[in-house]
Chains A and B, each alone.
Chain A
Amino acid sequence: MARKKNPGSKLSRREFLALVGTGTSVMAGAGFLTAKFSRRPVEQLIPYVVPPEDYIPGVAAYYNTVCNLCPAGCGITVRIREGRAKKIEGNPAHPVSQGGTCALGQSGLQVLYNPDRLQTPVTRRGERGTGDFHTVGWNSALTTVASHLDKLRLANRGAGVGLLTGDIRGHLDDLLIQFLGLMGSGRYLQYAFTNPTNLYSANAASFDTAQLPYYDIANSDFLLSFGADFLGMWVSPVSYSRAYGDFRQGRREGEDKGPRRQRGQLVQIEPRMSLTGANADIWVPAVPGTEGALALGIAHIIAGGAGRFAAALAEFDPPRVAEISGVEASTIERLARSFGDAKAPLAIGGGGAAAGTNGVPNLVAINLLNHLAGNIGREGGVVFNPKPAFGRTGMQRHGSYLDLLAFVEEIADVDDGVLIIAGTNPLYDFPGDERLVRALQRIPLVVGLSSFMDETMQYADIVLPVNSYLEGWGDDAPEPGVGMRVASISQPVVAPLYDTMDVGDVFIRLAQRMDRDMQRAMPWPDFHAYLRNAWRRMYDKRRDKLDYVDFDAFWTAVLEAGVWGETRRASQRNEFHAQVDYEPPVHAGNDVDYPWYFQPFVSQGFFDGRGANLPWQQELPDPMTSIVYGSWIELNPRTANELGVDEGDILEVSSPAGSLRAPVWITQGIRPDTVAMPIGQGHTSFGRYATGRGANPLSILSAQVDSRTGAFAWGATRVNLTPTGERIRFVKTGGWSRTLDRQILGPRSGETQEGGDHG
């Protein structure tokens, strides 16, 4: 073809071929590359250099150990693959958990894998409380502490060394006592505000026992619970939830078949409806702190003016009790009749009923009901636990609010005091903490043992990172147990992820760095060896009764089963030693400036606040409100009307001790004169998931204490509410909580709930 004048419209042959050539090769290249990149990327197959000895890749192993996220001591089974913990379930063979765990127990993996775990020892660089730390090696950290302790000990000034822990049981407790004893110090205190100090004290007064009894809910048929949220987080929630199932189905404990008896009836007496209250047949909102009067009123009717307590009960006739407690006289009579007529009635007390300034008298009054019903030491009643297989009971270990304050201030007063803090966080849950902080500031050396840099650790000089409970050794005789003598060994289910140590190991290592006497007195290579020794002694004592070839066989069997114990329940006579009397509750704040009772409650997800750094717990909808992530304050609709606020409106909540801000949640499950807030949020230092989220109701409580025990009375403060004009939208899973007569559940039958049409 001849070339034309217009070059723009036609290509020359050469140009055409060049274009076709380039185009073809570009397209072929594109095809080639598309084929290459659309193929699944080449993967490698990386073998072990040395094969693992103790597992088969791809095959799960299950190890039994003990959950220590709350004092219940449930046995758990952890699924492990390739040396990594994957899932926690209850150990079916463990009598406390019987295969169950609570939500917090499930989240134990997030304690283990928490990105905010302390991974190396740190020492303070800045001012106390500023969180300015830098990392050091174990060697230098331990040597610093050990040389300090050694100096004090050799100068006979070891008595100024104190140890503050949360709830440490089993043989670790023994080891710590021994260490302090060698230092010449008896200063050892366990404090957590949820420790049931008043319950111990009331039971000691009533039944002369230093242990918590087991409340045999399963075999009872009428349960009168004064504020004990046993389906939530009270004392041993997994065990009691299980028992509640049997109770409701009218089965004998643990039996699937066999004759049914009547379905048990549950009455919950509490000013704010808890999860247990929502499950009750009758919910009775009494004035906070007056539960004791109500119990005595019921006792008055049951006793009918006769018996040992006639005189003490005389003045508690229904009209008077109605006036005190705000519960109608007819209701009191009805409750007394049901309680008196039941075959196996049972009364329990906890939560708000035990958290006033009159916690002990309230609980004693509740115990009296059990005595009058003749159910002490009986099936379906108050079953006493046999002496634990080892260790001290909580009554012997725990200190009260006042004890803690005195404890820390005393150490501050001695020259060269040392305070070692492990596993408790009083600067989060201790109101009036300025006094505590002031005392802490005066102590020359504060050593913390912890997995997280929580509020209290901010005030330590040296923080030593300890193993999570899934990485370390330990043992436990659960309290309250289930009326049987039970013990478990807590074993590491995975190797420690970081450079951490067992609490027991820290003390053994410290002793090894001190002078010869210390070294000789604590000769074990590690805590595991100490523990084995202790169990060997137990084995030797019972050798004849135990059916094992030798100690090793016994030890292995306990490790495998996750629990060891007897299945016989002790019986006990129906004794009751206490004097009963009603003591009116004292609330901080007058009722003019602070018109509302303030009832913080232990939340299901976070317990006393320790669960707030676990994302699963943050995401867990609260069972009563379905709210996730935040804090809220619960108001009766009437209160909300009075204040002119609606759901999500932010209130300023002020008490004589301080103020906070929280959004409104309106519910009919609360008295109009009471407002309530969940405990657990509002951390100022507890890792990325907890810090700065929500508000901490404990922070505005007045330093009220129980009149008998000095235990922290966290239900004895009044507040005022002021709308701020701001509002938020709750993050929640639930919708509208009322049926609006749509008959969604069909017509109601049987029992009705008092105090509103909630649900």
Chain B
Amino acid sequence: MSVSVREALGAFKPAAIAVGIALAAYIAGWVAYEVFFPGTAPVQPIEFSHVIHAGDYQIDCQYCHIYAARSTTAGVPAVEKCMGCHKVIATDKPEIQKLTDYWNSRQAIPWIKVHDLADFVYFPHKRHVQAEVACQTCHGEVQTMARIERVAPLSMKWCVGCHEEREVENGRDCWTCHK
């Protein structure tokens, strides 16, 4: 006795089609989210533009991110730092007025994190700055970004790739980044 595969399948045909459509729909939904909401350039509480600061005025990165050469964290400028200039500069702009409101009420600006590493990764900014890795290597051409955007994948493969290329001492050692 023989069973025709085609016939057997035929019995399930409607079901198979249904599953296929469902799967396609599911994937489409997923992709749609990734495409329309990539999350790599979230809207920030203040439309801060690196184009103006780092691009036009060529302010050094470490003028604001003051801890980068000395600490694991680069440091988001304190509100007081922003006000150091914006007490007098561009005070008529609505975004600067938002800043002034934060300052007057002694509130921190709740920036959205763009470059987020998992908690089990030890990433010291100072080592990279001291090794003269340009900020742009990981953060992209910041000076051209009106809204900050993540361009690097920040994946382990990507990190180790660079470590290998630059022949970093112990750059492939697990313990270097996972302490």
Contact = CB atoms under 8 A, between A and B. Distances in A.
Contacts of A43: 112-113, 116
A61 to B, nearest CB: 12
B112 A28 contact: no
Interface in B10-46: 18, 21-23, 25-34, 37, 39, 42
A750 interface: no
Interface string B63-94: 00011001111011111110000000000000
Contacts of B30: 31-32, 34-35
A31 to B, nearest CB: 3
Interface string B104-127: 001111111100101000000000
B113 A31 contact: no
B113 A56 contact: no
Interface in A1-56: 20, 23-36, 39-40, 42-51, 56
Nearest to B115: A45
B113 A39 contact: no
A47 B78 contact: yes
Interface residues of B, number: 41
Q: Which of B25, B78, B81, B113 has the most CB of A within 10 A?
A: B25
A57 interface: yes
Contacts of B76: 45-47
A58 interface: yes
B42 to A, nearest CB: 7
Nearest to B34: A35
Interface string A704-718: 000000000000000
Contact of B18 (A23, A31, A46): A23
B73 A47 contact: no
A58 B30 CA distance: 37
Contacts of A26: 25
A50 B33 contact: no
Contacts of B42: 42
A59 interface: yes
Contacts of A42: 39, 42, 112-113
A24 B21 contact: yes
B113 A28 contact: no
A36 B30 CA distance: 8
A156 B29 CA distance: 88
B22 A47 contact: no
Contacts of B107: 49
A58 B123 CA distance: 11
A53 to B, nearest CB: 11
A61 B29 CA distance: 50
B105 to A, nearest CB: 9
A46 B108 CA distance: 6
B113 A45 contact: yes
A25 B26 CA distance: 9
B29 A56 contact: no
A426 B2 CA distance: 95
B79 A23 contact: no
Contacts, number: 113
Given A42-B39, A42-B113, A46-B110, A57 B29 contact: no
A48 B32 contact: no
Contacts of B18: 20, 23
B67 A58 contact: yes
Contact of A57 (B75, B80, B81, B108): B75
B130 to A, nearest CB: 14
B21 A20 contact: yes
A28 B108 CA distance: 38
A522 to B, nearest CB: 37
A47 B29 contact: no
B112 A23 contact: no
Interface string A114-138: 0000000000000000000000000
B25 A39 contact: no
A580 B66 CA distance: 72
A50 B111 contact: no
Contact of B108 (A25, A34, A40, A48): A48
Interface in A631-667: none
Interface string A400-443: 00000000000000000000000000000000000000000000
B28 A31 contact: yes
Given A28-B25, A42-B39, A51 B33 contact: no
Contacts of B26: 27-28, 30-31, 34
A59 B66 CA distance: 13
Given A35-B33, A58-B67, A27 B22 contact: yes
B112 A45 contact: yes
Contacts of B72: 58-59
A56 B71 contact: yes
Nearest to B77: A47
A738 B108 CA distance: 63
B41 to A, nearest CB: 12
A543 B107 CA distance: 49
Contacts of A33: 29
A315 B162 CA distance: 85
A49 B106 CA distance: 6
B80 A58 contact: no
Contacts of B75: 47, 57
Contact of B111 (A23, A31, A46, A48): A46
Contacts of B111: 44-47
Contacts of B80: 48-51
Nearest to A20: B21
B70 A31 contact: no
A48 B78 CA distance: 5
A44 B45 CA distance: 11
Nearest to A11: B14
Q: Which of B18, B26, B118 has the most CB of A within 10 A?
A: B26
Nearest to A48: B78
B163 to A, nearest CB: 21
A80 to B, nearest CB: 14
A25 B116 contact: no
A709 B39 CA distance: 77
A28 B67 contact: no
Nearest to B105: A49
B125 to A, nearest CB: 8
24 contacts: A23-B21, A27-B21, A27-B22, A27-B29, A28-B29, A31-B26, A32-B30, A35-B33, A42-B42, A43-B112, A45-B111, A45-B113, A46-B109, A46-B111, A47-B78, A47-B108, A48-B78, A49-B80, A49-B106, A49-B107, A56-B67, A56-B70, A57-B75, A59-B67
Interface of A: 20, 23-36, 39-40, 42-51, 56-59
7 A-B pairs with least C-beta separation: A31-B29, A28-B29, A58-B71, A27-B25, A31-B26, A35-B33, A32-B29
Given A42-B39, A45-B76, A48-B80, 17 more contacts: A20-B21, A23-B18, A23-B25, A26-B25, A31-B30, A31-B31, A31-B33, A34-B29, A42-B113, A47-B78, A47-B108, A49-B108, A50-B78, A50-B80, A51-B78, A56-B67, A57-B71
